[in-house]
Amino acid sequence: MNNAFIPEGLIPVPLAPPALGDTAITEWVNVSEAQMVWLDCYMTVAGATITQCVPAKAYNAAGTGTAVLGFNTPIWAGYAAAGAALTLARQTDAANYSASAAGVHRVIFMIEPAALGKHATLGQYNWLSIGMAGEAADYQSCTCWVLPRYQSDEIVTTRWIA
């Protein structure tokens, strides 16, 4: 996939509502029944501080066995300064993303759940989250867009939410 195309009909799962401050997002989403997920993050950076977005995986909803992805994933990112339009551009595949310009940033990670792997002793990594650091006085939010492995006219499971 070479563009930032995200299919229609996805299930949105909020990982973090807009919040002020430098924080790790502690909500976890179960991706065991997902074909693909997109972590869609917004950050409003007031100063030119280095901001880092780091997706994480775990083997359960409590974050047990938390680890970084351990592989590179497609990323699209962009930022708008002083009221300019925000335009996304394809970035080099990576396991995380860093930005340092003041303005409104948007970063999208496309993650295939089948690639998450297995913890050595705890089992399959079926949970995703993201941490955003470096924003001491700035706003951030993140939504996980889930493409279910099997399509349905209605959401028949609450397993996406921890």
Q: pLDDT value at position 162?
A: 52
Q: Quick check: 74 pLDDT over 80?
A: yes
Task: Write down the domain spans for the chain.
Answer: 12-148
Q: pLDDT value at position 108?
A: 94
- The maximal CA–CA distance of the chain, rounded, in angstroms, is 49
Q: pLDDT value at position 25?
A: 64
| Highest mean pLDDT: which range of 119-123, 144-148, 156-160 | 144-148
Buried b (16+ CB within 10 A) or exposed e, 78-104: bbeeeeeeeeeeeeeeeebbebeebbb
pLDDT digits (tens, 9 = 90+) for 3-46: 456 677 788 888 877 777 666 666 888 898 889 999 998 888 77
The alpha carbon torsion through 87, 145, 7, 118 (nearest 10 deg) reads 110
